[in-house]
Amino acid sequence: MSCDYDDSEFLDFKELEEQITQIVDNGNLEEMLRIQLSEFEMLQSMFSNPGEFCVDDPSVIADINEFVDGRCSIIPPRLDFSINLFIDMAKFEVCVNLPHDYPATEPDIFVRSDKLSRNQQHSLNIDLSKFIADLDRGEICICSAISWLQENATHYYVAIKPEPQVKICEDEDLFTRYWIYSHHIYSKLKRREVLDLAHEFNITGFCLPGKPGIICAEGSSMDCGEWWQKVKSMNWKKIMCKKKETFKLNGGEIEELRKFPSFREISFESGKGKSQEHHMDMGEFYRYLAEHNCSYVFKDYFGVDGK
């Protein structure tokens, strides 16, 4: 479906934009969430055909409504939805995750399509992130992002030629383990992409979503290097490699150096506090690291010894 809408929808969109600047300046969380609900309803009406607009957990909408109406003091989960677009007979899945203070901050948007190679998909997402970053903060921008995608998506699988493989400057006889820290990991699509890339590059380790987000990735240095280049090119608020371990193989087997048998997503939610932001249980996380003989990395992440 195109992003076409009738005059009444256009007026609603403009009126919504005009209400935002003062609200954003006040930093009012309830009003931010009201704006998100209004934009959500507008997008839902614009993409109303079966299968176009998808919400993984509809109960989140009820949670947000209860919060903004003052019937609940617990900060609700983030608004998370996806829009399926068909552009020139190709399907594009647009996954959206909204921070609580959106539109004062950028939305987390990630796009994937089976018509794109990995390199083309990453190029598209990088350019889309740049487009969103150039927009004025405080203005709703999901529809603008979708319009940009509708105008530009076909260029990425028609005009872009397959890029030559860039050789990662790593010794093929090395084994590497990356310990990665992210400000947060919420987006379901981004989490799935991290898992898919790990399987593609024969990476083992784990992904711990939430705030903060923690990732461990281990494998041959060449595979880990390529995996890390693709992961860090996604649209993150903050992501860094806190610690990198490198071992000489000396003719040995990679499997003997692995601390994890596979790559999977783990969860240790504390269940404490007024927010549903999925903060981790540090004690459980430390025990998990200890079970895999890598409790030493806890101090590298948090500056204190675990216990």
Output the CA torsion sign for 259, 261, 266, 268.
negative
Does one domain contain both 132 and 270? no
In three-state secondary structure terms, 19 is: coil
Q: What is the CATH number of the domain that holds 75?
A: 3.10.110.10
In three-state secondary structure terms, 119 is: helix
Q: What is the pLDDT of residue 1?
A: 43
Does one domain contain both 81 and 189? no
Does one domain contain both 38 and 179? no
Within a domain: 167: no
Counted domains in the chain: 2
Q: What is the CATH number of the domain that holds 191?
A: 3.30.70.100
What CA dihedral angle connects 178, 183, 187 and 193, to 10 degrees? -20
Q: Can you give the residue range of the structural domain that contains 129?
A: 7-158
Q: What is the pTM of this model?
A: 0.61
Residue 79 near residue 40, CB atoms below 8 Å: yes
Residue 90 near residue 157, CB atoms below 8 Å: yes
State pLDDT tens for residues 231-274. Answer: 887 777 789 999 999 998 876 688 889 999 999 999 876 655 44
Within a domain: 182: yes
State pLDDT tens for residues 179-188. Answer: 999 988 888 7
Does one domain contain both 139 and 30? yes
Does one domain contain both 140 and 179? no
For residue 175, the Cα-to-chain-centroid distance in whole angstroms is 27
Q: What is the pLDDT of residue 270?
A: 60
